[in-house]
Amino acid sequence: MKRVRADLHIHSVISPCADLEMSPANIVARAVQMGLQLIAVTDHNSTLHGPLTRRLALKSGIYCLYGAEINTREEIHCLCLVDTEEQRLALQAFLEQNIIHIPNNPDIFGYQVVVNEQEEIEQEIDYLLHAAVNKSIDEVAEFINSIQGLFIPAHVDRPKYSVTSQLGFVPPTLQFDALEISRNTSVDAFKAANPLKPGTVFIRNSDAHFINQIGTQYTDYCLDEISFNGLKAALSGWGGAGVYPFQ
């Protein structure tokens, strides 16, 4: 078992609100500098920078999961993490089929660009990725479960775009692998204010939109291997894997 530092909520230049410096190459370089061994690029409703970021991460000796931050019909942000190209393509197809298509105005919302290793623009997404998908949080959770992904409601304590801001509580029937908490509260304070299933696992990430935010918030995991399955075991508490407690 090893102690592995991970930041699983990082936005790239595909996200309209992310800084244009957030290229896969810059993200990986900063992640290495910050001592991260496991990262995930989770753009708003897009997985398109996953493959390039993983390739660059592997060259630098760290691992990058595929993922997206899905905005559900209720406007709840949820981290969805997967590992194989087949899962990523299924997730990307789900997003493209279900997002409510609103044209993006880059002057107002920001640019949404896919870049290559040389940071040249390869594609610009013309519909607004920050829009919601036409699926409820339960439907998104069910879909992610069906492709064996990890489903983690994001920044659950925040006053906007969170399960508590939109629903007022964490539904007891919601299927999730962990809850992501922001740095604005503690696990104990959140638990005190919200009834939760026993054994609910919390993680913390940076939600970086700028390079200098990467790795400023993170979670340490006890893993037998740095991989998707290793992370899954840690979130499930299997075989001695786990999440190091934090405040």
Please tell me the count of residues contacting Zn ion according to CB under 5 A.
4
Interactions with Zn ion, residue window 64-93 (CB under 5 A): 69, 77
Closer Cβ to Zn ion, 113 or 154, answer by number = 154
Closer Cβ to Zn ion, 166 or 194, answer by number = 166
Closer Cβ to Zn ion, 77 or 232, answer by number = 77
How many DSSP H helices and E strands does the chain contain?
8, 11
Closer Cβ to Zn ion, 77 or 88, answer by number = 77
43 sits near Zn ion (criterion: CB under 5 A): no
Q: How far is the CB of 1 from Zn ion (least distance, A)?
A: 29
207 sits near Zn ion (criterion: CB under 5 A): yes
> DSSP code of 193?
H
> Interface with Zn ion by CB under 5 A: which range of 20-28, 29-37, 206-214, 229-237?
206-214
Interactions with Zn ion, residue window 142-161 (CB under 5 A): 154
Q: How far is the CB of 9 from Zn ion (least distance, A)?
A: 6
Could you tell me how far CA 150 lies from the centroid of its own chain?
10
| Helix axes 50-59 and 85-98, enclosed angle (nearest 10) | 150
Interactions with Zn ion, residue window 220-239 (CB under 5 A): none
49 sits near Zn ion (criterion: CB under 5 A): no
Amino acid at 127: Y
Interior/surface letters 79-105, b for 16+ CB within 10 angstroms, e for the rest: bbbbbeeebbebbbebbeebbeeeebe
Q: How far is the CB of 198 from Zn ion (least distance, A)?
A: 27
Closer Cβ to Zn ion, 59 or 160, answer by number = 160
Using CB atoms within 10 A of its CB, is residue 182 exposed (0-12), middle (13-18) or buried (19+)? middle
Q: How far is the CB of 205 from Zn ion (least distance, A)?
A: 8
Q: How far is the CB of 2 from Zn ion (least distance, A)?
A: 27
Closest C-alpha among 3, 1, 8 to residue 215:
8
| Cβ neighbours of 35 (radius 10 Å) | 10
Q: How far is the CB of 222 from Zn ion (least distance, A)?
A: 25
User: Under a CB-based contact definition with an 8 Å cutoff, are residues 218 and 206 in contact?
Assistant: yes
In the chain, the N- to C-terminal Cα span, in Å, equals: 23
Q: How far is the CB of 74 from Zn ion (least distance, A)?
A: 13
Closer Cβ to Zn ion, 22 or 114, answer by number = 22
Closer Cβ to Zn ion, 46 or 233, answer by number = 46
Torsion of CA 132, 134, 135, 137, to 10 degrees: 30
The residue ranges that bind Zn ion (CB under 5 A) are: 69, 77, 154, 207
